Amino acid sequence: MDLTGKIVILTGVSKGIGRATAEALLAKGAIVAGWGRTAPEGLEHERFQFIECDVRSEVSVQEAYVNTHREVGEQVHVLINNAGVGIMGPVDGFAGDDWRTMFDTNVHGTFYCCRAVLPQMKKQQLGHIINVASLAGTVGSENMAGYCATKFAVRGFSEALFKEVRHDGIKVTCLSPGSVETNFTGATPGAVPNPHKLQAQDVAAAIVHALETPAGVLISEVEMRPLQPKK
């Protein structure tokens, strides 16, 4: 897909992978509707429109979709479900509210956003949905049971969805990065990139690559790892 002039909805746009992806898409000529609870600081561009949205809320997603139509147009060529949250801890000490927050954001939010855009994409017989999962959705890890469960769910949902909509001309890609140097875990990325972690820009580049595949080609699943992880 040539991204010039294409309308992209991108969730979790305020920082990290979302912010880097917005910048990469704008550099390719796309029109980006960035959904999030807070606007990305300092990101101002004639083809960028921030839309306030909490993906945990079905109503908020519906309102954001209506607002996106009003601000950037009716068509939707791309949806990138990037918004996510990770809360770690042992199962027997895990708070129910934290468990629900992760599922509401990572799983239910992905469903709400996909459901919102699919009627228009089917009408167009064209579209590409990218769901950002994690390598934590491929293998369980101690003290990450809740997060792993949500990302396993995103991978299963993505596989089922791509089989459901491929004949409508809609692509679905599930992207599973490994360790990424972002604010996700609460730590602030250092001034010098960590060579043992992926950078947000690396993930953004992979997203752009998947989107730019020829019309008859689908990259259904991508796993990304740092080449030389910390020993």
User: Given phi > 0 = left and psi -120 to 50 = alpha, else beta, which region is 88?
Assistant: beta
Of 146, 36, 38, 39, residue with least CA distance to 101:
146
What is the rounded CA–CA span in Å between residue 103 and residue 174?
17
Residues 6+ apart with CB under 8 A from 185: 86
Give SS3 for 70. Answer: helix
Phi (first) and psi of residue 18, to 5 degrees: -65, -45
Q: Is 65 a catalytic residue?
A: no
Of 161, 83, 152, 90, residue with least CA distance to 128:
161
DSSP H or E stretch at residue 8: strand 7-11
Residues 6+ apart with CB under 8 A from 46: none
Catalytic residue among 50, 99, 112, 147: 147
The answer to whether residues 81 and 114 touch, using CB atoms and an 8 Å cutoff, is: yes
Point out the residues that are catalytic.
147
